[in-house]
Structure 1
Amino acid sequence: MRHNVLYVHGFNSSPLSVKAEQTKAYLAKHLPNVGFYCPQLATTPIDAITQLEDIIYSEQDCTWHLIGSSLGGYFSNYLSEKFQLKAVLVNPAVKPYELLADYIGEQKNPYTEEVFFVRAEHMSQLKALEQAAPSVDCKQKNNYLVMVQTGDEVLDYQQAVDKYQHCRLIVQQGGDHSFVGYEKNLAAIVDFFQLT
């Protein structure tokens, strides 16, 4: 059975982000038979989710694994529940429709230099993707590994700890929203996905 990793980047990010590049390099070196996908996400939530679903649907004769960072963690939570996939959530957004309300208006992607607009209706699209907190049997199902750093300056890490309290949690003191030292956790991520 072929295995694929789908890396879902965060808001206003890109496949060229540090964590995405580190994941790609790690898999290429240690697990070259594992497929790696990290698309440049569409700028509206509904289009981004459709894009990600289409990728999963495109290869159904394999096992998909999700890694989602920040807003990508929120999207990965949705995809994990829809397709019953294992997901690693890195400093995941829990209520992005509240946070991104402050970003309504023109934005520019620092990686692609694409100019796009965040609109009020995008908050409704995000809200529609919200999933309930995993129940007490989450650890038994073992579908989530949630990694947060307490020094996250963008998101309140405690929101993720509360929502995913019944899942496998890694809470590291300090750090920041980028998740400092992420590459040191890739072996644990691969182990969680049972890729070795």
Structure 2
Amino acid sequence: MILYLHGFRSSPRSFKARVVHQALADAGRAGELICPQLPASPKEAMALALLLAERHAPDNLAIIGSSLGGFYATWLAERLDVPAVLLNPSVNPLKNLEHHVGVTTAWHSDEAFEFRREFIDELAALRVEKITKPQRYYLLAATGDEVLDYRDMVAHYAGAKQHVIEGSDHAISEFPQYVDDVLAFCASRVQ
């Protein structure tokens, strides 16, 4: 099973989530993807992810996390001892999300949601200062990410399998070129 965790203001309808779903469907494995809509509260998001993950962890689960979902995936991977693929992950969302406090909308709908100040504290409680098993991770980072600095990602996941894309963007617009490698990493780590 693969648990896909989307980023901030995103959803299961994100570009990368749809690419993963299509690749699995093309391989006759569509039923192996779990891709929930994560609540705005990091505490609630991780409670939901844990509930979904614990049914399959540790032997039959890999996680893919994008942006804030990569931050979440790291916390879950450390907690459950499962592999994780990180797509332009947020290493320290505390410095990036402070200016998003308030009411906003998701990228894929006009539905409003509130990102509360206390959610910053919830994020702080989930921070993984140093990964414990680099071989558990595969980092896909773009030098052209306009939201997050790829150098922070490379440093945080030192020793992990890493593919740094020259250029590109936060969305990894050419993600279909990399999805097979992402899924192969997941499959190689799941029994």
Query: 8 Å contact 1:5–1:34 — kept in the other structure?
Result: no
Partner Cα separation in structure 2 for residue 95 and residue 52 of structure 1: 19
Please name the residue that 1:15 is paired with: 12
Amino acid at match of 1:87: A
Matched, 1:177 2:174: no
Please name the residue that 1:39 is paired with: 36
TM-aligned CA deviation for residue 115 of structure 1? 1.2
TM-aligned CA deviation for residue 181 of structure 1? 1.1
Partner Cα separation in structure 2 for residue 90 and residue 56 of structure 1: 19
Partner Cα separation in structure 2 for residue 8 and residue 103 of structure 1: 19
Equivalences for residues 101-120 of structure 1 within 5 A: 101-120=98-117
Equivalences for residues 153-192 of structure 1 within 5 A: 153-192=146-185
CA RMSD of superposed structures (Å): 1.8
Please name the residue that 2:142 is paired with: 149
Query: 8 Å contact 1:150–1:172 — kept in the other structure?
Result: yes
Q: Relative to 1, partners in 2 of residues 1:33 and 1:17: Cα closer, same or farther, differing over 3 Å?
A: closer
Partner Cα separation in structure 2 for residue 26 and residue 20 of structure 1: 10
Partner Cα separation in structure 2 for residue 75 and residue 31 of structure 1: 28
Query: 8 Å contact 1:134–1:166 — kept in the other structure?
Result: no
Partner Cα separation in structure 2 for residue 125 and residue 69 of structure 1: 19
TM-aligned CA deviation for residue 122 of structure 1? 0.6
Partner Cα separation in structure 2 for residue 45 and residue 61 of structure 1: 22
Query: 8 Å contact 1:134–1:167 — kept in the other structure?
Result: no
Q: Pick from 46, 50, 56 the counterpart of residue 47 of structure 2.
A: 50
Identity of aligned residues (%): 32
- 3-state secondary structure, aligned to 1:194: helix
Partner Cα separation in structure 1 for residue 58 and residue 147 of structure 2: 38
For residues 85-133 of structure 1, the C-alpha deviation after alignment (integer angstroms, 9 at most, x for no partner) is: 1000000001101100011111111323221111221111001001122
Counting matched residue pairs gives 189
Please name the residue that 1:73 is paired with: 70
Structure 1 unmatched runs, 5+: none
Query: 8 Å contact 1:9–1:69 — kept in the other structure?
Result: yes
Query: 8 Å contact 1:92–1:160 — kept in the other structure?
Result: yes
Amino acid at match of 2:37: Q
Partner Cα separation in structure 1 for residue 32 and residue 176 of structure 2: 18
Equivalences for residues 23-34 of structure 1 within 5 A: 23-32=20-29
Range that drifts further, 126-135 or 62-71:
126-135
Range that drifts further, 107-116 or 174-183:
107-116
Partner Cα separation in structure 2 for residue 160 and residue 62 of structure 1: 26
TM-score (ref. length: structure 2): 0.93
For residues 138-185 of structure 1, the C-alpha deviation after alignment (integer angstroms, 9 at most, x for no partner) is: 2xxx21000100000001111101111211111111000001211111
TM-aligned CA deviation for residue 194 of structure 1? 2.8
Amino acid at match of 2:92: K
